[in-house]
Structure 1
Amino acid sequence: TTNITKAREKKKMKNQIFYISFAAFFFLLVTKWSSVEAQTCKPSGTIKGKKPPPGQCNRANDSECCVQGKPYTVYKCSPPVFSRTKATLTINSFQKGGDGGGPSECDNKYHPDDTPVVALSTGWFNNKQRCLNYITIHGNGRSVKAKVVDECDSTMGCDADHDYQPPCPNNIVDASKAVWKALGVPESDWGELDIYWSDA
Structure 2
Amino acid sequence: MVVACVVEFGSNPSGSGAQTPSASAGVVVFFTVQIESSLIQIPAVCFFPAVWCAAGDVYNIPALMSVNGFEQGEEGGPAKCDGQYHSDSLLLVAMTSAWYGPGFRCGKVISIKSAGGVTVQAMVVDECDTDNGCGITEISTSAAVWRAFGIDTSVGEVPVTWSDVSN
TM (norm. structure 2) is 0.65
Amino acid at match of 1:144: V
Q: Which amino acid aligns with 2:64?
A: T
Q: Which residue of 1 aligns with 2:49?
A: 79
User: Cα offset for 1:137?
Assistant: 0.4
Distance in 1 between residues matched to 2:85 and 2:48, nearest whole Å: 25
Identity %: 36
Residue 98 of structure 1: aligned partner: 74
Query: Which whole-Å CA distance do the structure 1 matches of 2:141 and 2:80 have between them?
Result: 15
Deviations 1:93-127 (A, max 9, x none): 0001112x211000111011100101000110011
Unaligned 5+ runs, structure 1: 1-31, 41-76, 158-166
Q: Contact (CA 8 Å) 2:89, 2:142: kept in 1 or not?
A: yes
TM-score (norm. length: structure 1): 0.55
- What is the Cα-based RMSD across aligned positions, in Å? 2.4
* Contact 2:26 2:48 (8 Å CA) reproduced: no
Match of 1:107?
82
Is 1:195 the equivalent of 2:160? yes
Name whichever structure is richer in strand by fraction. Answer: 2
| Offset from partner CA, 1:35-68 (integer Å, 9 cap, x none) | 796427xxxxxxxxxxxxxxxxxxxxxxxxxxxx
Larger fraction in helix: 1
Q: Is the 8 A contact 2:71 2:87 kept in 1?
A: yes
* Structure 2, unaligned runs of 5 or more: 1-9, 20-24, 28-46, 52-57
Aligned to 1:153: 129
Structure ID, larger Rg: 1
Total equivalences in the alignment: 122
How far did 1:80 drift? 5.3
Alignment partner, residue 149 of structure 2: 183
- Contact map agreement 1:136 1:198 (CA 8 A) in 2: yes
> Does the 8 Å CA contact 1:78/1:170 hold for their aligned counterparts?
no
The 3 A distance-change label for structure 1 pair 184 and 80 is: same
Distance of aligned partners of 1:33 and 1:134 in 2 relative to their CA distance in 1, 3 Å threshold = same
